Homo-oligomer: A and B are copies of this chain.
Amino acid sequence: MANHDESYRYVDLNEARSFIERCMQSVGTKPSHAAALAEVLVKADYRGHYSHGINRLDVYLDDIKKKTTVSDTEPSIVKENVATGYVDGCNLLGPVVGKFCMELAIKKAKEAGIGWVVANGMYVIMLGTNPITCAAPAKDGDSFVLDMATSAVALGKVEIADRAETSIPQGWGVDSTGQITTDSKSVLQGGGLLPLGGSEETSGYKGYGLAMMVEMFCGILGNGDFGPNIRRWKDADRVANLGQCFVAIDPESFAPGFTDRMQSLIDICRGQQPAEGESEVLIAGDPERIHMKKVDRDGGLRYHINLINALDKIAVELGVTKLKTL
């Protein structure tokens, strides 16, 4: 394999999954739970969301070690109806609860047309940006995959601007007095992110409303922590009793031919004339699709040498075999 840039190493996807599994198992995580986490973290890297992938392994390890996340039980159904389920996530790893809930939602959708499952007591790493995810299949493996925070941007983007000492665009964040600012430091030091839409003038109240809607479907329906009661990210001194909501829809319960129409809508969007200076029109999920193709061409995930070194250090500490690079 060609490796033109000395700052990067390539890693096989199966090896990345296996590494996460051996690390997690070494601190007492059940094999099936470790596998569920590995699947999600490696998928994040494969899709190009490196901030949500293997680089967060240390946080998950810490939480298992400090017992703010457990691995000695399984999620359980507290209450259910034909189309609904209410699940106790028992503060298990997020991907374990997520897999359980999504499978339950799909099972219910097959019977009732819709499956709506809400969980609490779930451990996920999040910043209270109340994300919305929605995916649908089209034809021949094509799909629509929306996965977005309802904040204007991720805090990480402000941090990157701060490190680069560049100003941030209007509409990303506010200072400690609630005024919109283009100074990253003011956002990071006592300020905050704006909701999608930014200022009132550009309809930021819509992003605020969407964030509250997500809070309602997750924390409020499920009786998880909500609003300012939510544990801060990496605040590992207590369990994260977060709510999450999983919905499965069987399109066959409605008009026949869903995937054909979905493909038609996707094709129409991609076929639009790009804005001047742009080369193509994408749909939600396309940037990730492009990234996955690149990984396939490369023959593996591309990790920075600093990340590899950090993972090697973890391996030594835990006494497991280091991550093998290509």
Contact B169 A257 (CB under 8 A): no
Contact A171 B222 (CB under 8 A): no
In the complex the two chains form, what is the Cα distance from A104 to B116 in whole Å?
Answer: 18
In the complex the two chains form, what is the Cα distance from A144 to B215 in whole Å?
Answer: 12
The answer to whether A3 has its CB under 8 Å from any CB of chain B is no
Query: Which of A86, A113, A174, A257 has most B Cβ within 10 Å?
Result: A113
In the complex the two chains form, what is the Cα distance from A228 to B269 in whole Å?
Answer: 10
The answer to whether A221 has its CB under 8 Å from any CB of chain B is yes
Contact A203 B274 (CB under 8 A): no
Over the window 112-126 of chain A, the binary record of Cβ atoms lying under 8 Å from chain B Cβ atoms (1 yes, 0 no) is 111010101000000
Question: Which A residues, 98 to 147, have Cβ-Cβ distances below 8 Å to chain B?
Answer: 111-114, 116, 118, 120, 132, 134, 136, 144, 146
Interface pick from A10-18, A54-62, A67-75, A205-213: A205-213
Contact A113 B82 (CB under 8 A): yes
Q: How many protomers of this protein does the assembly include?
A: 2
Residue of B with least CB distance to A119 = B254
Question: Assuming the A-B contacts A221-B251, A221-B258, A249-B116, are A206 and B212 also in contact, with contact meaning beta carbons closer than 8 angstroms in the complex?
Answer: no
Contact B136 A111 (CB under 8 A): no
Question: Assuming the A-B contacts A84-B113, A114-B114, are A209 and B284 also in contact, with contact meaning beta carbons closer than 8 angstroms in the complex?
Answer: yes
Query: Which of A177, A201, A220, A250 has most B Cβ within 10 Å?
Result: A220
The answer to whether A253 has its CB under 8 Å from any CB of chain B is yes
Question: Which A residues, 207 to 241, have Cβ-Cβ distances below 8 Å to chain B?
Answer: 207-210, 212-213, 215-216, 219-223, 226-228
In the complex the two chains form, what is the Cα distance from A132 to B212 in whole Å?
Answer: 13
Residue of B with least CB distance to A168 = B201
How many chain A residues touch B (Cβ–Cβ < 8 Å)?
Answer: 77
The answer to whether A38 has its CB under 8 Å from any CB of chain B is no
The answer to whether A188 has its CB under 8 Å from any CB of chain B is no
In the complex the two chains form, what is the Cα distance from A150 to B134 in whole Å?
Answer: 15
Interface pick from A39-47, A260-268, A308-316: A260-268
In the complex the two chains form, what is the Cα distance from A253 to B262 in whole Å?
Answer: 31
The answer to whether A155 has its CB under 8 Å from any CB of chain B is no
Query: Which of A114, A144, A150, A226 has most B Cβ within 10 Å?
Result: A114
**Chain B hits for A179, CB < 8 A:** 275-277
Residue of B with least CB distance to A259 = B220
The answer to whether A273 has its CB under 8 Å from any CB of chain B is yes
**Chain B hits for A207, CB < 8 A:** 196-197
Residue of B with least CB distance to A109 = B83
Residue of B with least CB distance to A153 = B203
Question: Which A residues, 64 to 104, have Cβ-Cβ distances below 8 Å to chain B?
Answer: 79, 81-84, 86
Residue of B with least CB distance to A84 = B113
In the complex the two chains form, what is the Cα distance from A284 to B210 in whole Å?
Answer: 9
Could you jot down 11 A-B contacts, CB within 8 Å?
Answer: A81-B253, A82-B111, A116-B249, A116-B253, A132-B213, A136-B220, A148-B206, A169-B202, A171-B198, A220-B265, A221-B249
